[in-house]
């Protein structure tokens, strides 16, 4: 089990919501299930409009692997650099921007700002 803290300007009084989830679902699925107002205008998971900032809340020793689709959409949206796009994994730290529709949750503690 992991923990996700949502912090959003669209939420009343910048409310933080702690959500405990089971691994295997996407961040967007988790947000929708808990009525968190993330932007997901395309509804086809191919535009990058749902990009959010994600920060780890605990140290992690695993490398973050982005799917080819997520890397491409983040590059197209200007959220990652060409160098980050060309790398298969980001060993030093995860990228600040992620796509909730592509981000498969694992046993981790993260904060999502939108």
- Where the chain has pLDDT below 50, the residues are none
pLDDT of residue 106: 80
The neighbouring-strand residues paired with 2 are 21
In tens, the pLDDT along 74-90 reads 999 898 888 888 876 55
pLDDT of residue 53: 93
pTM over 0.85: no
Tokens of 62: 């695993």
**Taking the CB of residue 80, how many other CB atoms lie within 10 A of it?**
23
pLDDT of residue 15: 61
Domains and CATH numbers, the chain: 2-113 (3.10.20.30)
Helices (H) and strands (E) in the chain, counts: 3, 7
**Taking the CB of residue 77, how many other CB atoms lie within 10 A of it?**
14
pLDDT of residue 113: 92
In tens, the pLDDT along 26-42 reads 898 888 888 888 876 66
């Amino acid at each position: 089990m992991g923990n996700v803290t949502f912090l959003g300007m669209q939420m009343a009084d910048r409310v933080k919501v702690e959500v405990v989830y089971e691994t295997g679902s996407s961040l967007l699925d988790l947000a929708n299930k808990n009525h968190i107002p993330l932007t997901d205008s395309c509804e086809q998971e191919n535009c990058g409009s749902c990009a959010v900032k994600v920060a780890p809340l605990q140290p992690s020793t695993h490398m973050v692997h982005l799917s080819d689709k997520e890397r491409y959409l983040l590059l197209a949206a200007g959220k990652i650099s060409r160098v980050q796009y060309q790398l298969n994994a980001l060993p030093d730290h995860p990228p600040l921007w992620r796509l909730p529709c592509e981000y498969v949750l694992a046993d981790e503690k993260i904060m999502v700002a939108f």
